[in-house]
Amino acid sequence: MIDRLRNWAKAIKRDVHALYLAGRDPRVPWYAKALAMVVAAYAVSPIDLIPDFIPIIGYLDDIILLPIGIYLIVKLIPPDVMADHRKMANRQQQRPTSRTAAVIIVCIWLVSFGCAGWFIYGYQSIN
């Protein structure tokens, strides 16, 4: 059961990315592009139709509205175009990650915060 939910969530994530890619494709009709971009933006937006802090109802828009929107827009996009974008979204999600790069970026942020704190402390002690 948990594996099915996990696979469903991955498919939703892939399809949102594929809709974003389809929204920029010249082979897709303009109305499908517009709706694809709206659904993709809604999926990644921190602003929800129903706020998530409302118990149970808050997550219903994510669980019900988003898959329905994806389903309807996928029907508007030609099947071969959607298949291409799903393949591309899969490839982009499977990119290798670098833990070394992540550590370097975190170190840069820590040094930046340290320098900013040192500057603010020095500025406050002068005044």
Q: How far is CA 99 from the centre of its chain?
A: 21
pLDDT tens, residue by residue, 99-112: 787 788 889 999 99
4 has a pLDDT exceeding 90 = no
| Domain assignments of the chain as residue spans, ordered by start | 2-95, 98-127
Furthest-apart CA atoms within the chain: distance in Å: 67
User: How many CB atoms lie under 10 A from the CB of residue 69?
Assistant: 19
Q: What gap in Å lies between CA 33 and CA 19, rounded to an integer?
A: 8
pLDDT tens, residue by residue, 27-48: 999 999 999 988 888 887 777 7
